[in-house]
Amino acid sequence: MDEKFSSLIGKAKNARGEKNIRNTISLLNKNLKNTAKDIPLLHARAELHVKLQEFGEAVNDYRLILSYDNNDKLATGQIEHLSTILRFSGNDIYASPNTNLDPWLE
């Protein structure tokens, strides 16, 4: 990994605050070339999306990672984890007496 990638990944790991995170995502977007070499940058961008609670965007990045390397365990695990969050975040279990949507009974 070259120095530029390392610097971008370090910046992504240390990003705090919405404005700083969004600026870092923009930097990552400018440096992504849509190749398998971009996997570390895609992981960094996905983590930033998670920090912003943009779980759908993070899942998209992890799926893109798997399209380059289908053995990436972190991406596979994160997709499962974030998909669970997305599935339950839209359920208002108190709005309906339908217990089939109750996540505790699943």
Query: Which of 72, 16, 71, 79 has its CA nearest to residue 40?
Result: 72
- Flag whether pLDDT at 15 surpasses 60: yes
The per-residue pLDDT for range 53-98, each reduced to its tens digit, is 999 999 999 999 999 999 999 999 999 999 988 887 765 555 555 5
Q: Determine the 3-state secondary structure of 76 from DSSP.
A: helix
Identify whether 98 is part of a domain: no
DSSP secondary structure letter of residue 104? G
Identify whether 106 is part of a domain: no
- As a whole number of angstroms, the distance between CA 70 and CA 17 comes to 32
In percent, how much of the chain has pLDDT > 90?
Answer: 56
Residue 26 is part of a domain; what is its CATH number?
1.25.40.10
Identify whether 99 is part of a domain: no
Identify whether 47 is part of a domain: yes
Query: What is the tally of structural domains in the chain?
Result: 1
Query: Whole domain around residue 74: which residue ranges?
Result: 3-88
Higher pLDDT: 62 or 8? It is 62
